[in-house]
A and B are shown apart, each in its own frame.
Chain A
């Protein structure tokens, strides 16, 4: 059974960079037809797609976040990562990693990790 698990700091200061890692177990991140994705949800609000990466390193980002986002993949560790720079309080959210299939839909999700941006 595929499992995804987010890890990273729960508190980050304004203007700094958020760094999260998603560890994939029970399957290979190098499988074709799957795209590894980050999605976030501010407290009490809706879901927001941040971006996706293919195992080859190809990336797709939400246009409004593109200047601040970097998603990378480490196939040797079966992990992928998110970096989001120039943080403000508006970036406070639960961050989910998820797998996107070819259909396309997000069929496997991590449990999510709350990141708070505060001094």
Chain B
């Protein structure tokens, strides 16, 4: 149950789009559609931004979108805003339904 692989950092100017990846295996990301994404600002608890790959909880802007292909899930933030600068973590439920695994985390910087 190794951590899912994310790039350490990504960046974009206000108004631009940024996409970050989350790579796992067929035992987690690739095995089902139970991938969620979390935003974490410094010193704060994480906040769920997407669940079931691409579903947005109430109150999350539609600038946040998700997709999955094979063992890799992706989060896209369109129309970047200064408040989007944060750490982002993906998370997958295991196919066995016995554990969860988080990604290594990606810091999005708004230039």
Q: How many residues of B contact A (CB 8 A)?
A: 24
Q: State the main secondary structure of chain B at its contact with A.
A: strand
Residues of A within 8 A of B57 (CB): 105, 107
Is A46 located at the chain interface by the 8 A CB criterion? yes
Among the listed B38, B99, B104, which residue makes an inter-chain contact with A60, where contact means beta carbons less than 8 Å apart? B99
Is B91 located at the chain interface by the 8 A CB criterion? yes
Assess the B34–A103 pair: CB atoms within 8 A: yes
Residues of B within 8 A of A101 (CB): 51
Which chain B residues have a beta carbon within 8 Å of chain A's beta carbons? Answer: 1, 3, 34, 36, 38, 45-48, 51-52, 55, 57, 89, 91, 93, 98-105
Which chain A residues have a beta carbon within 8 Å of chain B's beta carbons? Answer: 46-49, 60-64, 96, 101, 103-107, 109-112
Which 6 pairs from chain A and chain B are nearest by CB? A105-B51, A105-B36, A109-B45, A49-B100, A47-B102, A46-B105
